[in-house]
Amino acid sequence: MDKKIMWRIVFILIVVGLAVWSIYPPSERIKYGLDLSGGVHLVLQVQTDDAIKAELDDAAIRMRSLASEKDIKLGKTKVDDKNFSFSVEIPPGTDVSALDDVAGSYFPNFEVNKSPGFWKFTFRAGQERTVRDQAVKKALETINNRVDEFGVSEPRISRQGAEGDRILIQLPGVDDPARVKDIISRTAFLEFKEVLGGPAPDRASLLQANGGSIPDDAEILVGDRKGVDGQTIGRDYYLLKKSSIMTGRDLRTARRSQDEFGQPNVRFDLIPSAADKFGSYTESHIGTAMAIVLDGKVTSAPVIRARITDSGVIEGNYTIEEAEDLALVLRAGALPAKLVSLEERTVGPSLGHDSVVRGVRAAISGLILVMGFMIVYYKFSGLNADLALALNLLLLMGAMAYFGATLTLPGIAGVILTIGMAVDANVLIFERIREELAVGKTVRAAIDTGFGRAFGTILDANLTTLIAALFLFQFGTGPVKGFAVTLTIGILASMFTAVYVSRTIYMVMLHGRDRVTSLSI
């Protein structure tokens, strides 16, 4: 056999072999999307205003703390998150030179407006956008960590828009969507705070017991009061220091555990630097209460009995599942801001299975009809096109398996569309061959001319479709992207099969025949 034909056959066999290797076994290599396997679809919005307020609150607390370390006495601080600023009262006699050094060294992202009696710190240009952008990125990272801890296979978590505040989450195969949504959207901000007063049965009693006013560096938080059976029987009010002894960022790990009575709780371990700090604090505050605050709510306020260093326990009358979930979100880290659900869809596995059955049935029906038409209308050449079409579908599924693409319901529609588009190129070639035979050219010359002159038209038609598919992939959402992926791979595969494979089949058929007078087309 001619060496050129042999190399073409070898190349085609290699491509087919790679496709079969990529796709086998199909049940493991072909990944189904949310609409086919069932699961949860969520669109969450990050409340970036919370991140702005948290940044300003933290800056105001840091200002007071740093000033205190340098023996600079300050008055009240006030946060104005609407104008992205906080102000500090400057009492007469304050060492403004030392305060200016603190502001310049530790608050480079703020512009300072110095007026008699108070200074105003305002975000510099662009800092607001930076804080919002970082909040969304941190939320995206935290959600990814939580989903990984939960063990969802093949999740899809992405930000909508380059600078958007929305996060798209698709979790195939989830059978408890309510629990997953709770784990994803829980802020899980853990703080350890010094107790200045309480517990008290109401706010008025707490204020009365502490001089009738709240100090600038303190706040009132609420916790549930438990009965002897562990059930909530009321609410307790606590006066706590605003600044935290330690936060969830200082945790090394957290896991579900249980107390001596078998009641589930959460045991945590600290990073070394936090362990030293925590040990020093607890050693110097033996006999005083310390509140454990989760998402702004006091879960417990135990009295420190001894020095605590690298580990501790969070108790809260949890069920086993609640303790497991709390440990999970603490390990994954706290969200930087609250999440609001904008869209939520749950697809049942039975509905997904029905979609698979109907989609496959439609694809097979379309494939049989197209193949039958090509054989009836183009005879042997139609069989040539059918072989190329079958190979096209094999390459399409093999490429999707190799690149880890997810097959969705719109993706099945893309496969069906590919079936029609794949033979479209063969139709152009065959009609051109017929025209060349009609004007008296030999079979070999007609085939060569048909493939040569039809190639430009085929390339132009497929290129314009490919450009449209790429735009759909770039700017579309999940289902649209699924359609774009299968369409793109199908177009590239059809170019290979219709032009290269079909031509090779003709070359093999004509090889060794000196005179060919007719062609079944």
Tell me: the pLDDT tens digits for 39-63?
788 888 888 888 888 888 888 878 8
Domain 186-343 falls in which CATH fold? Gyrase A; domain 2 (3.30.1360)
- Give the position of tokens 């804080």: 131
Question: Residue 34 burial (CB < 10 Å; 0-12/13-18/19+)?
Answer: buried
User: Domain 49-127 class?
Assistant: alpha beta
Angle between helix 177-185 and 320-332 (nearest 10): 40
H helices within 404-442, ranges in order?
A: 409-438
Q: Can you give the pLDDT at residue 123?
A: 92
Q: Are 243 and 237 in contact (CB under 8 A)?
A: no
Q: Are 181 and 344 in contact (CB under 8 A)?
A: yes
Rounded Cα gap, residues 296 and 391, in angstroms? 61
Higher-confidence residue of 472 and 351: namely 472
Confidence class of residue 99 from pLDDT cuts 50, 70 and 90? confident
- Max CA-CA distance within the chain? 112
Rounded Cα gap, residues 501 and 116, in angstroms? 84
Average pLDDT over residues 294-313: 81
Sequence ranges of the chain with CATH classification 1.20.1640.10: 3-38+348-510
Confidence class of residue 121 from pLDDT cuts 50, 70 and 90? very high
Confidence class of residue 68 from pLDDT cuts 50, 70 and 90? confident
Task: Answer whether residue 155 shows pLDDT above 80.
Answer: no
Q: Are 288 and 302 in contact (CB under 8 A)?
A: no
Residue 300 — left, alpha, or beta (φ > 0 → left; ψ -120 to 50 → alpha)?
beta
Q: Can you give the pLDDT at residue 477?
A: 63
Sequence ranges of the chain with CATH classification 3.30.1360.200: 186-343
Question: Residue 31 burial (CB < 10 Å; 0-12/13-18/19+)?
Answer: middle
Residue 455 — left, alpha, or beta (φ > 0 → left; ψ -120 to 50 → alpha)?
alpha
Comparing 53-62, 241-250, 341-350, the range with the smallest average pLDDT is 341-350
- Give the position of tokens 């959600």: 143
With H, G, I as helix, E, B as strand and everything else as coil, classify residue 489. helix
What is the DSSP track for 152-165? -SS-EEEEESTT-S
Confidence class of residue 351 from pLDDT cuts 50, 70 and 90? low
Question: Residue 482 burial (CB < 10 Å; 0-12/13-18/19+)?
Answer: buried
Confidence class of residue 178 from pLDDT cuts 50, 70 and 90? confident
Q: Can you give the pLDDT at residue 1?
A: 60
Determine what percent of the chain is predicted with pLDDT higher than 70.
94
Confidence class of residue 441 from pLDDT cuts 50, 70 and 90? confident
Average pLDDT over residues 307-333: 78
Enumerate residues 6+ apart whose C-beta is below 8 A from 273: 250
Confidence class of residue 303 from pLDDT cuts 50, 70 and 90? confident
Comparing 122-131, 380-389, 411-420, the range with the smallest average pLDDT is 411-420
Task: Give the phi and the psi of residue 476 in degrees, each rounded to 5.
Answer: -85, 165
Task: Answer whether residue 193 shows pLDDT above 70.
Answer: yes
Which residue from 483, 491, 481 is spatially nearest to 395, judged by alpha carbons? 491
Average pLDDT over residues 321-345: 80
Q: Can you give the pLDDT at residue 491?
A: 87
Q: Can you give the pLDDT at residue 227?
A: 64
Token pair belonging to 246: 């330690």
What is the DSSP track for 179-245? HHHHHHH----EEEEEEEEEEESSHHHHHHHTTTS--TTEEEEEEEEE-TTS-EEEEEEEEEESS-S
Beta partners for 269?
Answer: 253, 311
Give domain 3-38+348-510's CATH number out of 3.50.50.60, 3.40.190.10, 1.20.1640.10, 1.10.10.10: 1.20.1640.10
Task: Give the phi and the psi of residue 477 in degrees, each rounded to 5.
Answer: -90, -170
Token pair belonging to 80: 């104005």
Q: Can you give the pLDDT at residue 348?
A: 67
